Amino acid sequence: MKTQKQRRVVILGFRGVGKTAITTRFINNSFNSEHTPTIENSFKKTIKFCDEEYEIDILDTPGQDEFTRFPTNDSVITDAYILVYSVSSVNSFEILKVIHDKINEKIGTIPQVLVGNKNDLEKREVKFEEGKKLAKEWSCSFIECTAKENENIAQVFLSTLEEIEKSTNPNFGKKKDSNCLII
């Protein structure tokens, strides 16, 4: 019997971008349309990925801005960061660049996934191509999603696991006989 792998993921982003909405949609498939500022919450979920069981410990953080101190106590035991912006807010997109720089400055290279949330909204200030270009600059995965419509939410976390595994094993997912979901 294979042992369960444990992975810790921290979700960062500006206020109101939907970090908690993404997390609660993934954890218990629910969506609350009312915004309540998060202090800090931790969630766990076990999933099967690439024929292995993973327990994902997700730290849902309060909204950050360029003046927020980087949570160094959380970074020591973190396997990856999910960096979330709202496609309807260019400010939230710009703030992520500051957050990304703080991560690299404080802890160096660590797996990250760039996520553009709220792609169900008609008002769009950040184009898909802009997110994709930034992710390419950062050498990380990029996903647009909507927690409200439950579109690509699982993909966010599967891509995060993939980024973690690729960082520890460069041959991860390259075997032809592997029963692995690669996103």
Closest alpha carbon to 157 in 13, 16, 24:
24
Q: pLDDT for 69-109, tens place per residue?
A: 555 555 558 999 999 999 999 999 999 999 999 888 888 88
Confidence of residue 182 (pLDDT cuts 50, 70, 90): very low
Mean model confidence pLDDT for the chain: 85
Tell me the whole-structure pTM to 2 decimals: 0.87
The DSSP element (H or E) to which 45 belongs, if any, is: strand 41-49
Confidence of residue 151 (pLDDT cuts 50, 70, 90): very high
Q: Hey, what domains does the chain have and what are their CATH numbers?
A: 5-168 (3.40.50.300)
In whole angstroms, what is the distance from residue 88 CA to residue 117 CA? 9
Degrees (nearest 5) of the Cα angle 137, 152, 171?
Answer: 55
Q: Distances in Å between the alpha carbon of 123 and those of 69, 126, 150, 152, 159?
A: 30, 9, 19, 19, 26
Averaged over 107-117, what is the pLDDT? 92
Q: How many residues does the chain have?
A: 183
Q: Is the dihedral of CA 98, 69, 75, 107 positive or negative?
A: positive
Q: pLDDT for 10-54, tens place per residue?
A: 999 998 899 999 999 999 887 777 766 566 678 899 988 888 899
Confidence of residue 183 (pLDDT cuts 50, 70, 90): very low
Q: Which residues contact 45 (CB under 8 A, 6 or more apart)?
A: 26, 27, 55, 56, 58
